[in-house]
Amino acid sequence: MRRVLLAAWAMGMLATVPVAAQGPRVSLAVALGPDSLPFHARKARVQVRDLLNDKRWSDAMEQLFPIRLTYRMEIWRSRDGWIDEFQRATEWSIVIQREPLQDQYRVTRLLLSGPEEFRFATRDLLQKWLGYSTEVDALPEGTGTFYYAVTLTITALSNEDMEALERFLAGQPAAPAQPENNSIGKRVRQFLLRIAGLPWEELEVRSERFKVSP
C-alpha cells in the first residue's frame, strides 16, 4: 500500500510541473485559403506545429515508436439562434517512423485516394515537411455562413497497429474486427498507452467563419 501511495504521489508531482518547464508543445492550426473561389467559398489549410519540438513525441520517435496523426475535418453551417448544422466530414492520417538501419525517416500519408509515401534523410527535412500547411480539398454545400472544425489525434502505435498498417499497404484484406476496435476498447488502449509512458493527445480547433454567397 505504501508503494502505491508513493507512486501516486510521484505521478501527482509530475502532473503539477508547469507547462513552460516542459518546452514547446505540439499544437494545431486551421486557416482559410484565399478568397479566389466562386461564390467566395474558402478551403481549409491545416497545420500541425512543433510536433518534433515536443519532447514527448520526439522521445517516442527516437525510441522507435511510430507516431500516427489522425485528422478529422468537419464542415459546419452556422445558424444564429439555432444549433449549427453539420454537413459532412473528411479524414486522413499520417504515420511517421524512424528507420535506424537506413538512417532515415519514413512518412506514410493515408488518403481516401490511397497511400502516399515520403522519405527524409534528416530530421530537419522531416520537420520542414511537417510544418507545411495542408489544403483540404473539401468545400461546403449551398450558401450561408460556414466554418471548419478540425480534430487531430496523435498516438504512439503498437506492434499490432504497425502490422495491420503494413497489411493494408500491401493490399491484404483487413483482419476481422476485434473487441478493442469499439469505443470502449479505444479508451482502454488510450489508458494503457498513458500508464505505459507512451504519449497520447487530442487537439481541436475551429477556423474563422466565412460566407458563401448565392
Q: How is 80-114 classified by DSSP, letter by letter? A: TTSPPEEEEEEEEEEEEEEETTTTEEEEEEEETTE
84 in any annotated domain: yes
**More confident: 160 or 78:** 78
pLDDT at 148 (0 to 100)? 98
Q: How many structural domains compose the chain?
A: 1
pLDDT at 120 (0 to 100)? 97
20 in any annotated domain: no
100 in any annotated domain: yes
Q: Residue 49 carries which side chain, given as an amino acid letter? A: R
Beta-carbon contacts of 51 under 8 Å, excluding residues fewer than 6 positions away, are 26, 57, 67, 69, 130, 154
3 in any annotated domain: no
pLDDT digits (tens, 9 = 90+) for 67-78: 999 999 999 999
pLDDT at 113 (0 to 100)? 81
pLDDT at 50 (0 to 100)? 95
Q: What confidence category does residue 22 fall into, taking pLDDT thresholds of 50, 70 and 90?
A: low
**More confident: 70 or 180:** 70
Domain that holds residue 69: 25-212
Q: What confidence category does residue 158 fall into, taking pLDDT thresholds of 50, 70 and 90?
A: low
Among 57, 69, 75, 42, which Cα is nearest to 150's? 75
Report yes or no: 76 and 83 within 8 Å, Cβ to Cβ: no
8 in any annotated domain: no
CA dist 80 and 205 (Å) reads: 20
The yes-or-no verdict on residue 193 having pLDDT over 60 is no
**Positive/negative CA dihedral, 42, 74, 174, 94:** positive
Find the distance separating the first CA and the last CA of the chain, reported in whole Å. Answer: 68
201 membership: H or E segment, kind and range: strand 200-206
Average the pLDDT over 9-32 and give the result: 64
17 in any annotated domain: no
pLDDT digits (tens, 9 = 90+) for 72-106: 999 999 998 789 999 999 999 999 999 999 889 99
CA dist 204 and 167 (Å) reads: 30
CA dist 179 and 166 (Å) reads: 21
Average the pLDDT over 53-60 and give the result: 91
pLDDT digits (tens, 9 = 90+) for 100-129: 998 899 999 988 888 899 999 999 999 999
137 in any annotated domain: yes
Q: What confidence category does residue 190 fall into, taking pLDDT thresholds of 50, 70 and 90?
A: low
DSSP state of 42: -
1 in any annotated domain: no
pLDDT at 170 (0 to 100)? 64
